């Protein structure tokens, strides 16, 4: 379902943007969809009951177990961090007190959050015991980096198609279909391989190489790149990133005891959500500064496109005189290509984490669990016979 929505989202967003509904309708559309999802979860989801000493927990006990303070500190800490990253060098200078205040607030709240996690142990947001497992830590970093690769590329590719190549919003959504469709089907291929052969390490080796090479190829796109290039490069990078996307969840399931699997799986999901936010924040800083510096080199422009106009720059012809359009497209292409270099770094870091993840077999895990069940059944039968 995630893959289907990823494929449909850019197309619908482009259609709304080009129509009378405008891009704002995309945000309004989320409200009824989210409400329906809430109703389905509230009335039909039946999660396994938490228990304590063999007894199911009451609603009051479940609420007490939630780490409200830790969650609040974590959210506000990252809010400070992203505000500092967003403001620094653009809205305010890096030496501005607002930027430094946000950075200081981030570190103070992370320190307070860490203290709470150590103090509350198993009832904390992040279970420290589970993080002592080296494979668990690697899986968290791995998922963080691979989600960064996907996020920054899927965000900036439509800018390339619209502002550099001159396509409409709807057309740019269609041109990203090679990316999202490959991203949809490649995890299925890796899942089928792991189910058949039991090992995920070969998937990591192949996927990491494809992701790094594909990210490098995408960063080489220019105003003169052909259709075969930008379609082929998208397929290469998403073949790699796609088959890597679910590996961390499998590794966590195999490497950790059952009591810690749920907690660490939730942290992997958190890193999967944190990665795009961090990547787009860094990407915005890189793109804004690179594009701004290139615009300053264009003679005669006289600062007609600076600051806030950069973020909304899609149709160049409506903002600047015709004689500057080609130069600005070149500047835009340069800034985009250099921003996409960040994806190469993220893919490389994901590869480094993936290469040292513990080699475990899904088949051996399944066989050992089956054998344990048979042994338990035999012991129960022997016990019944004695009685």
Per residue of the chain (387 residues), what is the pLDDT tens digit?
A: 665 565 566 667 767 766 677 767 777 887 888 888 888 877 776 655 555 445 566 667 767 777 788 889 988 998 898 888 878 777 788 788 998 999 999 999 999 988 888 887 767 777 777 777 888 888 899 999 999 999 899 888 888 888 888 887 778 878 888 888 888 888 888 888 888 887 888 888 899 999 999 999 999 988 888 889 989 999 999 999 989 888 888 888 887 877 778 778 888 888 888 888 889 888 888 888 888 888 888 777 666 555 445 444 555 555 666 777 788 888 888 989 999 999 999 999 999 988 888 766 555 555 444 443 443 344 434 434 444
Given this model, what pLDDT does residue 237 score?
A: 93
Given this model, what pLDDT does residue 328 score?
A: 81
User: What is the Cβ-side half-sphere exposure of residue 59, based on CA atoms within 13 angstroms?
Assistant: 0
Give the three-class secondary structure for 165. coil
Residue with tokens 């399931």: 253
Given this model, what pLDDT does residue 355 score?
A: 86
**Number of C-beta neighbours around residue 113 at 10 A:** 22
CA-based nearest residue to 154, from 354, 292, 5:
5
343/205 Cα distance (integer angstroms): 18
**CATH fold for domain 1-24+134-369:** Growth Hormone; Chain: A; (1.20.1250)
CA-based nearest residue to 161, from 238, 236, 235, 221:
221
Given this model, what pLDDT does residue 35 score?
A: 86
Instruction: Please give the full DSSP string across 339-351, using - where no structure is assigned.
Output: HTHHHHHHHHHHH
> Could you read off the pLDDT of 198-257 as tens digits, one per residue?
788 888 889 999 999 999 999 998 888 888 998 999 999 999 998 988 888 888 888 787
Number of helices followed by number of strands (H, E) in the chain: 17, 2
Question: Which run of H or of E encompasses 56?
Answer: strand 55-56
Given this model, what pLDDT does residue 363 score?
A: 56
Given this model, what pLDDT does residue 381 score?
A: 45
According to DSSP, residue 55 is labeled E
């Amino acid at each position: 379902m995630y893959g289907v929505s990823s494929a449909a989202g850019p197309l619908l967003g482009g259609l709304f943007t080009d129509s009378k509904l405008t891009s704002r309708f995309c945000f309004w559309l989320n409200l009824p969809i989210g409400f329906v999802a809430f109703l389905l979860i509230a009335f039909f989801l039946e999660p396994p009951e938490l228990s304590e000493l063999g007894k199911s927990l009451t609603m009051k006990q479940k609420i007490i177990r939630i780490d409200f303070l830790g969650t609040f500190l974590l959210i506000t800490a990252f809010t400070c961090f992203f505000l500092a990253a967003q403001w620094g060098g653009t809205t305010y200078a890096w030496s501005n007190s607002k930027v430094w205040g946000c950075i200081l607030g981030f570190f103070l709240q992370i320190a307070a959050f860490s203290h709470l996690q150590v103090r509350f142990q198993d009832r904390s947001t992040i279970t420290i015991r589970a993080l002592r497992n080296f494979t668990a830590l690697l899986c968290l970093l791995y998922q963080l980096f691979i989600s960064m690769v996907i996020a920054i590329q899927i965000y900036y590719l439509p800018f390339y198609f619209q502002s550099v190549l001159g396509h409409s919003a709807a057309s740019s959504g269609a041109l990203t279909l090679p990316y999202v469709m490959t991203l949809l089907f490649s995890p299925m291929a890796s899942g089928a391989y792991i189910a058949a052969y039991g090992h995920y390490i070969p998937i990591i080796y192949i996927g990491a190489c494809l992701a790094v090479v594909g990210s490098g190829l995408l960063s080489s796109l220019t105003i003169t790149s052909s259709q075969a290039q930008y379609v082929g490069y998208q397929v290469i990078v998403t073949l790699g990133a796609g088959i890597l996307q679910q590996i961390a969840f499998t590794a966590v399931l195999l490497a950790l005891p059952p009591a810690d699997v749920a907690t660490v799986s939730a942290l992997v999901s958190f890193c999967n959500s944190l990665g795009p936010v961090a990547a787009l924040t860094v990407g915005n800083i890189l793109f804004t500064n690179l594009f701004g510096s290139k615009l300053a080199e264009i003679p005669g422009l006289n600062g007609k496109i600076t600051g806030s106009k950069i973020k909304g720059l899609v149709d160049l012809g409506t903002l600047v005189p015709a004689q500057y359009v080609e130069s600005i497209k070149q500047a835009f292409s340069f800034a985009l290509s250099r921003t996409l270099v960040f994806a190469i770094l993220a893919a490389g870091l994901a590869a480094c984490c993936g290469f040292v993840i513990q080699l475990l077999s899904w088949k051996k895990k399944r066989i050992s669990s089956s054998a344990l069940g048979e042994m338990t059944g035999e012991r129960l039968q022997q016990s019944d016979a004695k009685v």
